[in-house]
Amino acid sequence: MTRSVTPRQGKAAAGRANRPAPARAHGHHRGPLVAVAVAALGVVFGDIGTSPLYALKTVFLLDGGAVRANESDVFGVISLMFWSITIVVSIKYLGILMRADNDGEGGVMALAALAQRLYAKRAGKAGILLVIGIVGVSLFYGDSIITPAISVLSAVEGLHVTIPAISHLVIPIAAVILVGLFVVQRFGTGKVGVLFGPIMVLWFVVLAVAGLGMVIQYPSVLLGLSPSYAVVFIIAHPSISFIALGAVVLVITGAEALYADMGHFGRSPIRRAWFFLVFPALTINYLGQAALILHHPAAKANPFFLLIPDWGRLPVVILATAATVIASQAVISGAFSLSRQAVQLGLLPPLTVRQTSKREGGQIYMPAINALLFVGVMAVMLSFGSSDRLSTAYGISVTGALVVDTLLLVLVARPLWGWGPWKMAAAAIVFGGLELAFLAGNLSKIVNGGWVPLLIAAAVILVMTTWRRGRLLVKEDRQVKEGSLAEFIEDVRKKNLPRVPGIAIFPHPNKDSTPLALRANVEHNHVLHENVIIVSVSTAQVPHVPRMEAFSYDELGYTDDGIEHLTIRFGFSDEPDIPRALRAACYAGVLPLHARDFKDASYFISRGAIRTTRTTKMVRWRRSLFIALAHNAADPAARFGLPALRTVTMGSDVEI
């Protein structure tokens, strides 16, 4: 017989489920601060740390060399770079945006979810925030495709300087490295991850040492750190500076990673790593490259590698390649995490997720995303053929993501921190104005390759909006076929159906309608299990939900019919494992059963074919796209961790 909790217990459990999750301590890693900061170097700073390979070179190669290798232009560009890094990275991300965490997690998806939660009572604004979040995610995918291609290419192109005789092998070598990078994703990064931090420490030390020699030799280059040179450069050469902004933005590529990976390492380790090592190393290296160009104008063809003595160039090429692989790994892992969050929030169809670490929940592998990224990376690398040409496509995705983050920052600042209108306006003008200038400078390069990230973003937006709209239409049709759960229970009680031993679990979105599998089981088999549990899975707008706040139990009106409902709340970074959650509900005293009772439980999935109709609610080609996405979605049994041998799929067709 089914044991039941008292109504008072049920209300208490429901109350616990409806309370907001408490803020967790920032950062999941434990250990000495220095060790965590070193670990952060291997993940957080890979992208921005490899920008010296191509950023300054790109500025002086733009528009046939519009930016000259003279003192005013060189100092103006260096000033723009230094203050862009200072304002966007040091002040905006590390100083302000890291305070806008969603239960300790960062990134555009977490920030959009936080904004939605803050504006939950204003439906119209919440919808706008969702659209903004989708745009930000879409731009991140463009970054995820271009970053591995431009990073690895720029490192291997050091062979042009080191061993000119094999310059023709740059593309094949880069292709082999990228193939290997995507092949090893299935094995996870845990085993090699311990090497990432030390390698990046060595990389930043090399950056600083390489630039320091030129700075000591030509100390006047330090004048370029004055903001006055940037102002003079812009006023004296407005058209040239506008063009230069399209490349200057490359120095802050990867800035969002500082915020997105906050949940893995915490604020303090990231900030310390930035201010004590990364920021000084980048500044010194850019100053060294500027001094080299100023006194040896021909060096603008590849100032980074020409800073290195002949004897050290080949080792630095190898180290640079390792650093760019790490940078690429970081952005690929970020794409996996972001995709899982998008699935949890209903913006993408269910996708297969494989855990690659028994200890770290964030280390996952998504075969479909990995394959799509690989195809995209190889396509853009082979199409553009060099980091110089690819850099024209890079800036739009980066600047677009920066603008989205600033927009969300301004929106959450008032309800989160109580900012007044003047403070919000100042942030919008300083951060948004600079980033919009960057975006405008990059929009001028659309015809030369800037269309690539826009095309990628448009494709992702189309997929996300189509999936979301299609799910709503399917839900409407299913609700009609499912009928009221309360009426179904009353009908079952009147029929007095035979009950068979065991537990039957029916995953279902809500407790208002009847699971199609449950209705089909009664109509065709004319029996019910002794215990029937309807399980609804919802995704909270926080990364993780504590156990005691993850469940809401409902007896559905009767204590003696064995038909119950359980709502399980997962965070958008949690793995939605239903069997494990059911056992946890038993241990927590929410579900009136013992955990061992679920050893032989049966799971029934409501799933039927999706058929098209002549409805005008969605155009035909979008319906076809939705059906294709649904057919290629991951098996719900695998998605929810259901045991294959005890899972049955039943139901009826649905129409859109």
Mean pLDDT across the chain: 84
Q: Give backbone dihedrals phi and psi of 223, rounded to 5 degrees, phi first.
A: -60, -25
Query: Which one is predicted more confidently, 148 or 652?
Result: 148
Q: What would the pLDDT profile of 503-531 be if each residue is shown by its tens digit? A: 999 999 888 889 988 988 888 888 899 99
Buried b (16+ CB within 10 A) or exposed e, 110-126: bbbbbbbbbbeeeeeee
What pTM, to 2 d.p., does this model score? 0.77
Cα angle value 582/588/590 (rounded, 5°): 70
Residues 305-320, mean pLDDT to the nearest whole number? 92
What is the spatial distance between Cα 402 and Cα 409, in angstroms, rounded to a whole number?
10
pLDDT of the residue at 494 = 86
Give strand pairing partners of 551.
568
Residues 37-62, mean pLDDT to the nearest whole number? 85
Q: What would the pLDDT profile of 212-263 be if each residue is shown by its tens digit? A: 999 999 999 999 999 999 999 999 988 888 888 888 988 998 887 778 777 6
CA 108 to each of CA 112, 114, 295, 639: distance values in angstroms, whole numbers, following the listed order: 6, 10, 42, 24
pLDDT of the residue at 126 = 67
DSSP helix/strand/coil, 610: strand
Residues 383-394, mean pLDDT to the nearest whole number? 83
DSSP helix/strand/coil, 276: helix
Question: Identity (one letter) of the amino acid at 629?
Answer: L
CA 294 to each of CA 73, 299, 567: distance values in angstroms, whole numbers, following the listed order: 9, 9, 66
pLDDT beyond 50 at 7: no
What is the spatial distance between Cα 412 and Cα 253, in angstroms, rounded to a whole number?
24
pLDDT of the residue at 521 = 85
In the chain, % of residues over pLDDT 70: 89
pLDDT of the residue at 213 = 93
Cα angle value 131/134/138 (rounded, 5°): 145
Alpha helices in 385-515 (DSSP H): 387-417, 421-427, 433-443, 451-482, 485-495
What is the spatial distance between Cα 14 and Cα 8, in angstroms, rounded to a whole number?
10
Q: Which of 5-14, 162-171, 289-298, 559-568 is modeled with the greatest confidence? A: 289-298
Instruction: Decide if 225 contacts 78 (C-beta within 8 A).
Output: yes
Q: What would the pLDDT profile of 319-370 be if each residue is shown by its tens digit? A: 999 888 888 877 887 788 788 878 877 889 988 887 776 555 556 788 999 9
pLDDT of the residue at 17 = 35
DSSP letters for 351-405: ---EE--SS-TT-EE-HHHHHHHHHHHHHHHHHH-SHHHHHHHHHHHHHHHHHHH
Give strand pairing partners of 499.
528
Q: Give backbone dihedrals phi and psi of 70, rounded to 5 degrees, phi first.
A: -110, 175
Give strand pairing partners of 569.
538
Instruction: Decide if 394 contacts 254 (C-beta within 8 A).
Output: no
In this structure, what token pair is assigned to residue 399? 């600047």
pLDDT of the residue at 476 = 79
Question: Identity (one letter) of the amino acid at 625?
Answer: L
Confidence of residue 401 (pLDDT cuts 50, 70, 90): confident
User: Looking at 35-39, 91-95, 371-375, 603-607, which range is the least confident one?
Assistant: 35-39
What is the spatial distance between Cα 636 and Cα 506, in angstroms, rounded to a whole number?
12
Instruction: Decide if 464 contacts 134 (C-beta within 8 A).
Output: yes
pLDDT of the residue at 535 = 94
pLDDT of the residue at 15 = 37
pLDDT beyond 50 at 4: no
Residues 96-125, mean pLDDT to the nearest whole number? 79
Among 41, 92, 91, 86, residue whose Cα is nearest residue 402: 92
Question: How many Cα atoms sit within 13 Å of 441 on the Cβ side?
Answer: 28
pLDDT of the residue at 189 = 58
Instruction: Decide if 656 contacts 613 (C-beta within 8 A).
Output: yes
Rg (CA), the chain: 28
**Greatest extent of the chain over all pairs of C-alpha atoms, in Å:** 93
Q: What would the pLDDT profile of 617-637 be if each residue is shown by its tens digit? A: 788 888 889 888 888 887 888
pLDDT of the residue at 606 = 82
pLDDT beyond 50 at 30: no
- Taking residue 166's Cβ as centre, other Cβ atoms within 10 Å add up to 12
- Taking residue 7's Cβ as centre, other Cβ atoms within 10 Å add up to 10
Question: Identity (one letter) of the amino acid at 497?
Answer: L
Which single residue is written with the structure tokens 């995610």?
137
Q: Within its chain, how far is the Cα of 632 from the centroid?
A: 22
What is the spatial distance between Cα 610 and Cα 607, in angstroms, rounded to a whole number?
9
Give strand pairing partners of 503.
531
In the chain, % of residues over pLDDT 90: 33
Confidence of residue 13 (pLDDT cuts 50, 70, 90): very low
What is the spatial distance between Cα 607 and Cα 528, in angstroms, rounded to a whole number?
19
What is the spatial distance between Cα 76 and Cα 233, in angstroms, rounded to a whole number?
5
Burial level of 517, CB count in 10 A (0-12/13-18/19+)?
buried
DSSP helix/strand/coil, 292: helix
Instruction: Decide if 170 contacts 159 (C-beta within 8 A).
Output: yes
pLDDT beyond 70 at 433: yes
For the chain, the helix, strand and coil percentages under 3-state DSSP, each to the nearest 5:
70, 10, 25
What is the spatial distance between Cα 38 and Cα 205, in angstroms, rounded to a whole number?
13
Among 161, 560, 153, 606, residue whose Cα is nearest residue 384: 153
Contacting residues for 524 by C-beta, under 8 A, at least 6 apart: none
Q: What would the pLDDT profile of 186-225 be if each residue is shown by its tens digit? A: 876 555 556 678 899 999 999 999 999 999 999 999 999 9
What is the spatial distance between Cα 67 and Cα 233, in angstroms, rounded to a whole number?
10
What is the spatial distance between Cα 163 and Cα 157, in angstroms, rounded to a whole number?
10
What is the spatial distance between Cα 490 and Cα 452, in angstroms, rounded to a whole number?
58
Query: Which one is predicted more confidently, 22 or 69?
Result: 69
Q: Give backbone dihedrals phi and psi of 143, rounded to 5 degrees, phi first.
A: -60, -40
